[in-house]
Amino acid sequence: MAVADRREFLQHAGAFLLLTGTAAAAWEHVLAGQPESAPGYDASAHWWAWIIDVERCIGCGLCVKACKEENGVSLEPSYFRTWIERYEVDPDDPDHPHVTSPNGGYDGFPESTKPGVKTFFVPKLCNQCADSPCVQVCPVGATFQTPDGVVLVDKDYCLGCRYCVQACPYGCRFIDPETHTADKCTLCYHRITKGLKPACEEVCPTGARYLGDLKNPKDPIHEYLRTHKVHVLKPQMATHPKTFYNGLDGAVR
């Protein structure tokens, strides 16, 4: 009888240990999938979208600087979460615009040397596509879309295969030279989930960027979209970007 009890005890103890171990491992995975803790932020109650006003951008580069500083982006000139392009479009030859982005516009732009052309600045950043090719192609799901419509990268999970970088039609992704994982604009997720503005919007002196919440009926973005003729980049890609440009010239790609 005592032997049977001991066997029973060992069986129960074994099952308990096995199950709690499995449960703990599973729980770890559940936690790993959670966004950064942000008390009071309900991701499913928001749907973020950008308004970029080309007419207002003066190419000062403060947004580029602020982004790099806020997010610890490498200062090397081929890694940008946001950058600015200057278009110089000859009205007689709109198919061949002269485009420059020295150091992503980090230091601003030298004076244009092309008289008689149409000149304007275009801020670029992740378009937060609703149907993101980058999310589609990630082999392990390290790139994902949050319930509030933000495309993020789980750096602890990304393999660094670079397929997502190839899949982005807008050139918005790069491989972080420090972590060797994919990197891109996060909409400053650590800030917006605390009720703050993204760093680039915060510092823009002309208000060329505005991040709005399409799920908030009181957000001025609704009024803006109703009263302005906006456009998205490369609509033919059918990625359904949530970055709307006001005053976008047809030459921009």
Partner 1 sequence: MDGVQGFMYPNEVELQWSVLIVLYPFITGLVAGAFILASLERVFDVEAVKPTYRLALLTALAFMLVAPLPLQLHLGHPERSLEMYLTPHRTSAMAMFGFVYLWYLMAVLVVEIWLEYRREIVLAWQHASGVTRLAYGALALGSSNISPQALRVDDRVGRIVTIVGIPSAFLLHGYVGFIFGSLKSNPWWSTPMMPVVFLFSAIVSGIALVMLMYMAIAWYRRVPVDMRCLDTVARYLLYAFLIDFSLEMLDLVHRIYEADESFKTLDFMVHSRLFVSQIVLQIVLGTIVPIGLLALVQGGRMGEGARRAVYAAAGVLTLIGIFAMRWNVVIGGQLFSKSFLGYTTYKMEFATREGLGVSIVLLILPFVLLAGLVKLLPPWGRATIGR
Check residue 145 for interaction with partner 1 (CB under 8 A).
no
Check residue 167 for interaction with partner 1 (CB under 8 A).
yes
Check residue 166 for interaction with partner 1 (CB under 8 A).
yes
**Minimum separation from the CB atom of position 246 to partner 1 (A):** 20
CA–CA distance, 192 with 20 (Å, rounded to integer)? 36
Structure tokens at 97: 């615009």
Question: Other CB atoms closer than 10 Å to residue 141's CB: what's the count?
Answer: 11
CA–CA distance, 193 with 16 (Å, rounded to integer)? 39
**Minimum separation from the CB atom of position 182 to partner 1 (A):** 8
**Minimum separation from the CB atom of position 129 to partner 1 (A):** 11
Stretch that binds partner 1, among 7-15, 80-88, 202-210, 223-231 (CB under 8 A): 80-88
Please identify, using beta-carbon distances, which residue of 100 and 206 lies nearer to partner 1.
Answer: 100
Check residue 71 for interaction with partner 1 (CB under 8 A).
no
Residues binding partner 1: what is the number (CB under 8 A)?
Answer: 45
Check residue 136 for interaction with partner 1 (CB under 8 A).
yes
Instruction: Find out whether 10 and 18 touch, Cβ atoms under 8 Å.
Output: no
Check residue 78 for interaction with partner 1 (CB under 8 A).
yes
Tokens 């729980």 found at = 27
Nearest alpha-carbon partner for 205 in 128, 123, 124, 127: 123
Tokens 């891109």 found at = 184
Name residue 233's amino acid.
L
Name residue 206's amino acid.
T
Residues that bind partner 1 (CB under 8 A): 77-80, 83, 85, 97-101, 103-104, 124, 133, 135-141, 157-163, 165-175, 179-181, 237, 253
